[in-house]
Structure 1
Amino acid sequence: MEKIKKLSKYQGFWPVIVLLAILLINGIVSGGSFFEIKIVDAHLYGRLIDILRNGSKLMLLATGMTFVLATGGTDISVGSVMAISGAIACSIVDGRILPGAGQNVQVAILLALLGGMLCGAWNGFLVSKIKIQPIVATMILMVAGRGIAQLITDGKIVTVTSDSYYFINGGYILGLPFPLFIVLFVVVLVLLFTKKTAFGLFLESTGCNPVSSHFAGINVNNIKWLVYTFCGVTAAVAGLIESAGIKGADCNNAGLFMELDAILAVAIGGTSLNGGRFSVPASLAGALIIQSITTSVYAMGIAPEITAVVKAVIVICICLFQSPEFKEKMGKRFSGHQQERMAKPV
């Protein structure tokens, strides 16, 4: 019991427990078929693999969004950045822009990531230097971003026929989908950077008390600028995965409303929207919870139009379960009922 109490103090404990509970319920309802994994042509297939593959985009967005929320900010433009990066990459691979690049996939990926970096740097500039509120600053790119993407593609859905580009989403390494290795690479870099350097401490300090952090010698503005830039890069990577999955750039629908899921995933992971303490692994668990809920709803045959309602109800329950105030009130009520029962004569 003592070990469980110690583990429960870690930020990622309850998100992982909730994720396991959702998977267990699915296994029971489906009679165990939910956990079936097949090997076809040395590739792994199954609903668990689908959750990991389809959740890779959200896990990347949640990783970048964790840093932004840790500073007390928010970024609602990541969906539009996904559209921009996909438009850039597909237009280069298709030969619409930079025909001299020879439809080079490597050049397309590099310029798409650069585009995401510039978008994130623009958001960071507005927030850290111009001092615009984060939700307003990122709303500018959220609205204009899809227009920029449509300008890049001339308002058309650009399709590509490059197997090398398809590999970003549809490729396999050691039987596992390639997007998982992208997520693993990004997360390992992030954890090394936050755990092995002072950046993680600076980031948490900036979110807890930016004024005190400034007087302590931390360049709060540069920290914010850096995290928004990084969030743009992760959104660009997610955009590459999505465009490779649909084999083209759909500027109207790419990443649509995914910024809300990314913020929700980080919140489920326990990171406060007011900034401060954060945990990337907990945010990843939150992203998998959202993807598991979506997959579960479809697997159970629930109509797609009420999927959002089901997700909302489950998420509300999760958030209430994680709320210290709610748990304290429920604990007091439960202890009060026990005392009443003890006081009644037998």
Structure 2
Amino acid sequence: MRRLLWPLLVLAVLLIVNVLFTPSFLSIQLRDGHLYGSLIDILRFGAPLILVSLGMTLVIATGGIDLSVGSVVAISGALACLQISQDASVFGAVASALALAVALGAWNGFLVAGVGIQPIIATLILMVAGRGLAQLITDGQIITINNPSYKLIGGGYWLTVPFGILLVLAVLAVTAFLTRRLALGMLIESVGGNAEASRLAGIRARGIIVVVYAFAALCAGIAGLMISSNVSSADGNNAGLWIELDAILAVVIGGTSLSGGRFSLGGTVLGALVIQTLTTTIYSVGVPPETTLLFKALVVTVVCLIQSPAFRQKAFTRRPRTTAPAPRAEEKAEVIV
């Protein structure tokens, strides 16, 4: 709980800043059977980032990294929209898009665990090639669709709540059950802590790594469906652009170490909400668009520094003054002589 204190404080500060600029920021209204408000918008627009961050958390917990999730987001949305535009069923389009996403994630896991390529290199390959694949699927165009059933995934409501929020809660609940109620979470942490020791203990580290990368791609695929559904179109070039960096930041802000080992799903969700709230704050405060990324980077840097125990100890702990030692009796005698 202690490692969640600073992200909670930062989130509270961001909310207070928004209230100062917009007094009705925290208000939630029910109109036409739907919940509306800035807080609902933060959750709705932050849902894809939360999904990608959940998958990234498990990958980082094994000591790896996945830079290809942004490309998987684009590929998933592009394939689903292409098939729907060709009069395919929504269920078939969604299933094929998610199946391709899982296959791409398993390929990443095979390169890392089977071939032995460094995770940053293995996923960088798909990060670059994946954008080309998404452009190939869309033929370099923006595919526009008009399907109410598909619109529900990212832009619809169910039981007065945006469907994307409910989808995130469902994925979070399943992930928490698999990693905290079953032994999977402990196995992931053991592989991230020491893969060789885990192998000697009888744990199939390679299989776990493949499963983790496949799960991260599955989360990215669902996020791609949500993003393309929300705008009723697929853009292979810009969909999910740089979302992998925001996901890594969310994981770090949430307290998960990049060196692997222990992870925190709740901290990751909190970190993603901090980033999405920061994005909302930037727009509400009126930061010029050309300096948005710089402002965001500065704030995230400050958050990470404040969260670091070593930095807090150096910055906020007073060092004791060093006083000169008292002269010995012999030295006093020499001075008197």
Alignment of 1:185-264 (within 5 A): 185-264=170-249
- Is the counterpart of residue 33 in structure 1 residue 24 in structure 2? yes
Partner of 2:76: 85
- Is the counterpart of residue 24 in structure 1 residue 10 in structure 2? no
- Per-residue deviation, 1:307: 1.1
Alignment of 1:294-333 (within 5 A): 294-333=279-318
- Is the counterpart of residue 173 in structure 1 residue 165 in structure 2? no
| Preserved contact between residue 21 and residue 284 of structure 2 (Cα < 8 Å) | no
Task: Extract unaligned runs of 5+ from structure 2.
Answer: 324-337
Look up the equivalent residue of 2:28 and give its one-letter code: I
Cα deviation code 1:220-277 (max 9, x no counterpart): 1111111000000000000000001111110010001111111111011111111111
- Per-residue deviation, 1:149: 1.4
Alignment of 1:45-60 (within 5 A): 45-60=36-51
Q: From 124, 128, 151, give the equivalent of 1:143.
A: 128
Identity %: 50
Q: How far apart in 2 are the matches of 1:111 and 1:287?
A: 28
Q: How far apart in 2 are the matches of 1:13 and 1:208?
A: 24
- Per-residue deviation, 1:39: 2.2
Q: How far apart in 2 are the matches of 1:203 and 1:283?
A: 16
Q: After alignment, is 305-314 or 117-126 more displaced?
A: 305-314
Q: How far apart in 2 are the matches of 1:177 and 1:169?
A: 8
With structure 2 as the length reference, what TM-score do the two structures score? 0.93
Q: From 64, 73, 85, give the equivalent of 1:73.
A: 64
With structure 1 as the length reference, what TM-score do the two structures score? 0.90
Cα deviation code 1:62-115 (max 9, x no counterpart): 0000000111110001110011101110011100xxxxxx52001111111101
| Preserved contact between residue 16 and residue 282 of structure 1 (Cα < 8 Å) | no
Q: How far apart in 2 are the matches of 1:320 and 1:110?
A: 42
Look up the equivalent residue of 2:114 and give its one-letter code: K
Partner of 1:293: 278
Partner of 1:154: 139
- Is the counterpart of residue 265 in structure 1 residue 250 in structure 2? yes
Larger Rg: 2
Partner of 1:104: 89
Q: How far apart in 1 are the matches of 2:290 and 2:194?
A: 42
Superposed CA RMSD in Å reads 1.5
SS of residue matched to 1:55: helix
Task: Extract unaligned runs of 5+ from structure 1.
Answer: 1-6, 96-101, 341-346
Moved over 4 A (4+): none
Q: How far apart in 2 are the matches of 1:105 and 1:197?
A: 33
Alignment of 1:6-21 (within 5 A): 7-8=1-2, 11-21=3-13
Look up the equivalent residue of 2:61 and give its one-letter code: A
Q: How far apart in 2 are the matches of 1:291 and 1:311?
A: 10
Number of equivalences? 323
Q: How far apart in 1 are the matches of 2:140 and 2:297?
A: 34
